[in-house]
Amino acid sequence: MDTSIELIKLLLPEILVDYFKLTKHEVKKEELHFYFTELNMIPEEFKTLKLSSKGFFPEATIQDFPIRGKNVFLHVIRRRWIDDHSKKLVIRDWQLLAKGTRITSEFAAFLKQISQQ
């Protein structure tokens, strides 16, 4: 068991640990910044399609709950895929995923909002 992953799951939304790679973190005065990039894992609802990863959406930044008195900012980069057959854009449906995970309602609302962009 990787104790650092288990610790991160206690401090940050579990969905970030499961579906994103922590690429960087910074401490800036009274702020903690965590940078995440979505993993290239085909969403379950699209497993039957032939998808190709086609880049990322612009970074979204959200403020999470403070840790040890420091403001926490999550910088999230979401992936997009293209259906090789129809050429349509495919993105993970965070509303489906949020139903089966333990995330805060605020974070679920954030994911819902960025899914509509």
pLDDT tens digits, 70-92? 998 889 899 999 999 999 998 88
- Split at pLDDT 50, 70, 90, the class of 1 is low
Is the pTM above the cut of 0.85?
Answer: no
Give the Cα-Cα-Cα angle 47, 53, 58 (nearest 5 degrees): 120
How many other CB atoms sit within 10 Å of the CB of residue 111?
23
Is-contact 23 36, C-beta < 8 A?
yes
Contacts for 104 with CB less than 8 Å, ≥ 6 apart:
13, 65
Report which DSSP code applies to 44. G
Distance CA 51, CA 83 (A): 5
